[in-house]
Amino acid sequence: MDSFFNPEDDDWIQGSEEPDYMIGLSIDDIYLMYDCVKRRLETWEGYPQRPAAEQEQLWGLRNNLYRMILDYKFREM
């Protein structure tokens, strides 16, 4: 069954939550993404060029990536 995301179709939403996605990444990928997000925060243009909520989302992403790095170090090193 092929299904595609349609933003105008509310049937894909379970309650009020958006779907989560899982992908397989190596620890090297996590380190690279963490560095990219950190650099993006350093060079973030600010409001009104970019939405203000974007910066908060980047902080959350950075923190989650760092948690993954710490978890890897705790379990594998």
Per-residue DSSP letters for 53-77?
A: HHHHHHHHHHHHHHHHHHHHHHHH-
- What would the two tokens of residue 19 be? 């779907």
* 2-21 pLDDT, tens digit each: 455 555 555 544 455 777 88
- The residues of the chain scoring below 50 in pLDDT are 1-2, 12-14
- pTM, entire model: 0.73
Q: How far apart are CA 47 and CA 28, in angstroms?
A: 32
